[in-house]
Amino acid sequence: MTSFDVIRFVRSIKKVKMGHIGTLDPLAEGVLVIALGQGTKLIEYMMDHTKRYVAEITLGKESTTYDAEGELRHISDIKPSKEEVVAVIDEFTGALTQVPPVFSALKINGKPAYKRARAGESITMKKRNVTIHEHTLESYHYPTIRVSVTCSTGTYIRSLAHDIGEHLGTGGYLSYLQRTAIDTFTMEHSCSLEQLKERGIEPFLLPLIRGIGDMPRKTITAQEYKKLQHGAFVQGTLPKNVAICAAIFNNDLVGIMEPAPVKNHIKFKKHIHVA
């Protein structure tokens, strides 16, 4: 099931505008945050959230897609020690340069890379800078390494699995992946598709304010809110050194504010209608 398949499923239960934050590969399972209605206005502010994963890497083989769905090729029967595995995992912690998989949804001249790859085109993927904030070995029983990873947006765990296998000299591919959290959205706060089908969406909705994470906040008055929602500017400034700020009224998130063209005035960048 793809991330869009999940959206299609949820839309069959409740027909409302929606979108998801952070794509999950079809092989993967776990947390997929879905924004509904006015919540879709927050998606662009949630894409940079830190993500957490539990992953299993199988050594000895490489995959054309870097995961279990690709064509596998035997590389080596070398069995690294636990100490060697830990040392390589430590190498892949911190600021890294990573090459995304050829079989990915990243677009090259407007066309997804995986479509070009399937058509037999020769593709060179551009390197990208990512950050692995935390990378811990959970268990190792050859040929399987199980790790927990906390990383920046844009990190491909499939590429991480491939690179670890390459550095160990054994080859390796991603054989299991579970996303356990996107920022403060965790498995504990999630529901299954079966639960959605049985109980509907309403029991599992979270307040919009959860979507802004640690974005700076500014409480506005009723008079200011009345002006702002009609497109007017109000006197004031944002918290120091920030470009945008969440507008809070009656403990609800009602908009995203930015500086107005008039000095020492602010305006709505986005108005979020509260039911």
User: Over 80: is that where the pLDDT of 120 sits?
Assistant: no
pLDDT of amino acid 116? 75
Q: Are residues 79 and 153 in the same domain?
A: yes
Structure confidence at residue 106 as a pLDDT band (50, 70, 90): confident
H/E stretch holding 54 reads: strand 51-59
Told to judge if 67 belongs to the known catalytic residues of this protein, a careful annotator would answer no
pLDDT of amino acid 141? 98
Closest residue by Cα to residue 57 from 172, 178, 166: 172
pLDDT of amino acid 23? 86
- Structural domain span for residue 75: 50-182
- Please give the mean pLDDT across all residues of the chain: 93
Q: Where are the beta strands (DSSP E) in 128-264?
A: 128-141, 144-151, 172-182, 185-186, 217-219, 234-235, 245-249, 252-259
Q: What is the CATH number of the domain that holds 258?
A: 2.30.130.60
Q: Encode pLDDT of 198-233 as tens digits.
A: 999 999 999 999 999 889 999 999 999 999 999 999
Q: Are residues 144 and 265 in the same domain?
A: no
Q: CA-to-CA distance for 267 and 163, rounded, in angstroms?
A: 47
pLDDT of amino acid 187? 93
Query: Which one has a higher pLDDT value, 116 or 265?
Result: 265
User: Over 80: is that where the pLDDT of 196 sits?
Assistant: yes
Active-site pick, 25, 67, 163, 183: 25
Q: Encode pLDDT of 52-99 as tens digits.
A: 999 999 999 999 999 998 999 999 999 999 999 999 999 999 999 998
Whole-structure pTM over 0.85, yes or no? yes
Q: Are residues 155 and 39 in the same domain?
A: no
pLDDT of amino acid 182? 94
Q: What is the CATH number of the domain that holds 92?
A: 3.30.2350.10
Q: Are residues 223 and 207 in the same domain?
A: no
Q: Are residues 40 and 70 in the same domain?
A: no
Q: Which residue has tokens 């918290």?
A: 239
Q: Are residues 89 and 135 in the same domain?
A: yes
Least confident of 16-20, 50-54, 163-167, 271-275: 271-275
Q: Are residues 146 and 81 in the same domain?
A: yes
Q: Are residues 178 and 108 in the same domain?
A: yes
Q: Are residues 163 and 195 in the same domain?
A: no
Q: Encode pLDDT of 219-268 as tens digits.
A: 999 999 999 999 999 999 998 899 999 999 999 999 999 999 999 999 99
Q: Where are the beta strands (DSSP E) in 68-220?
A: 72-74, 94-98, 107-108, 111-112, 128-141, 144-151, 172-182, 185-186, 217-219
Residues of the chain with pLDDT > 70: what percent?
Answer: 99
